[in-house]
Amino acid sequence: MEMSAQQDNSNLNNVSGSGSCLYDLLSSDTPSWSSQRDRWKSSGPRGRLESLMRQSGNRFCADCGSPDPKWVSTSFGVFICIKCSGIHRSLGVHISKVLSVKLDEWTDEQVDSLVNLGGNTVVNKKYEACIPSNHKKPKQSSSSEDRSDFIRRKYELLQFLDCDEQLSCPFPLSHGINSSSSQTNSSSNNTGQDKKQCEKQGNKNRIGQAFRNSWNRKDSDYKAAKKSNSLAGMVEFVGLIKVNVVKGTNLAVRDVMTSDPYVIIALGHQSVKTRVIKNNLNPVWNESLMLSIPEHAPPLKVLVYDKDTFTTDDFMGEAEIDIQPLLTAAKAYEKSTINESMQLGKSVASKDNSLVKDGIITLEDGMVKQEISLRLQNVERGVLEIELECVPLTQ
C-alpha cells in the first residue's frame, strides 16, 4: 500500500471519532508500520510505556483479567485487552479514550498522565471498591454482553466507585449519561452543587452508596443508558479495520463553484469522519480512521458531505463496501509468516456494486489490505479512493 507523504498533521485534533489517534501514525510518510514501531522502541515515551505495561498489575486486563493487555484507556489509566477495548470504544471517546500500546504514538505527557493515574491495581481499587456480591467481574471467556454491562457500570455509571471518592465527588452526579461530554477528564471537574450532593450522602454505607449512585440519576437517563448498552453490548468485536480515506476525484459542486467535502465512515453503530477540506473538488485526505469490526460485519458505509457553516451539510454521495472478502482473507492469513507481497483475492467490480475497478486484496508486510475505488451513488458525479487494512485481534 502506498502511504503518500503528508507532512501537515495540524488537523490531528479535529479528527473525531474512535481510533482517530492513529491518524498521526498512519499519515506519516514512513512506508511500513514495523520500521515505524522499531524507531519508537528506542524513544522515551515508548520505553516508559512498555515498562509500565510490564508492571505486575498491568499484565492482566483491568476489566476481564485476560493476560497481556495491549490497549489503554487513557481516560482512566488502565491496561485492557482488545475485547474490552472494543466496549470502551463503543462508550464513546468522551467517556473512554482508547489507545494501542503498540500501534499508537504516545507523547511524554500521555505517559505521565498514565503514571499519575497509578495503573490497573490503583484504578481498580477506586472504580471497583463497591462491587455488590451479586455482581461478578467478567472473565476472559465472558460474553460481550456481560463484559459490556460490567464496563458500563464501572466507568460510565460509576456504580462501584469508592465511597471516599464519592465524597469528594469526582463525577457530576446531577448530570445524565447523555450530557457527559464534560467528563473527558472525568476525575477532576466537580462543581460546588455536585459537591453538596455528595456531602449529603456522606454517612451512608458503602454498598448502599454504590446503588444510590445510580438511583440518583434521573430514571430516564438510566433507561437511555440501558438502551444504548443493549445496542453496543450485544456485539462481539473480532478485530479492527483501518480505513485510509485517500482522495476524492471530480466530486459534486454544492456551493457556488466548489465544495468543502468531508467523509463519514460508518460500520454498524460506529461512525468516524475525516477533516473538512475547503474549496476542493479533488480533495486529498490521506487520513486513516479506525473502527472495531463486529462479529457479523455489515457493509462499510461511506458518506460524503459538503460542510456548511450556517445550514445543514449538503449530501455529496454515498457508497457501501462489502468487507467480507477482506475479512475472510485476513482470517486465512492472520498467522501466516509469508514475507513477500502477494495477491490474495479481489472484490470484482460489477453493476451491483459501486466499484470503479476490482478491489485487489494483498498481503504486504504481513498485513492484509485492499484498495477500493468507489463511484459515489445517488449523486451526479464523484469517485472516492479508499484503502482498507485489517488489524487482527492478536495485534
Residues at the site binding Zn ion, with contacts judged by CB under 5 A: 61, 63-64, 66, 81, 84
Chain length of the chain: 395
Query: What are the helix (H) ranges across 118-247?
Result: 119-127, 144-151, 163-168, 192-200, 206-215, 219-233
Write down the least CB distance from residue 96 to Zn ion, Å: 13
Which of 99, 263 has the CB closer to Zn ion? 99
- Strand residue runs (E) in the chain: 71-73, 78-80, 98-100, 237-249, 261-267, 270-273, 284-294, 300-306, 314-321, 342-347, 359-364, 367-375, 383-392
- The answer to whether residues 84 and 60 touch, using CB atoms and an 8 Å cutoff, is no
**Smaller CB separation from Zn ion, 66 or 244:** 66
For residue 263 the three cell numbers come to 467523509
| 8-state DSSP, 355 | B
Instruction: Give 66 or 183: the residue with its C-beta nearer to Zn ion.
Output: 66
Q: Give me the least distance between CB of 80 and Zn ion, in Å please.
A: 5
Distance of alpha carbon 298 from alpha carbon 313, whole angstroms: 25
Residue 395 Cβ vs Zn ion, minimum distance, rounded to whole Å: 15
Q: Which is nearer to Zn ion, 61 or 388 (CB)?
A: 61
Q: Least Å distance between CB 366 and Zn ion?
A: 25
Residue 65 beta carbon to Zn ion: minimum distance, rounded to whole angstroms = 7
Give 312's DSSP letter.
P
Residues with Cβ within 8 Å of 186's Cβ and at least 6 positions away in sequence, in order, are 75, 76, 95, 170, 171
- Among candidates 209, 206, 205, which has minimal Cα distance to 197? 209
Closest-CA residue to 275 (of 90, 86, 27, 29): 27
Concatenated DSSP letters of 95-118: T--EEETTTS---HHHHHHHHHHT
Shortest Å distance, C-beta 84 to Zn ion: 3
State the nearest-atom distance from the C-beta of 143 to Zn ion, in Å: 13
- CB-wise, 84 or 198, nearer to Zn ion? 84
Nearer CB in complex with Zn ion: 1/235 = 235
As measured in angstroms, the least distance from the Cβ of 83 to Zn ion is 5
Calpha distance 363→43 (Å, rounded): 29
For residue 374, what are the β-bridge partners? 355, 384
- Our CB check for Zn ion shows the closer of 66 and 90 to be 66
Beta carbon nearer to Zn ion, 81 or 101: 81
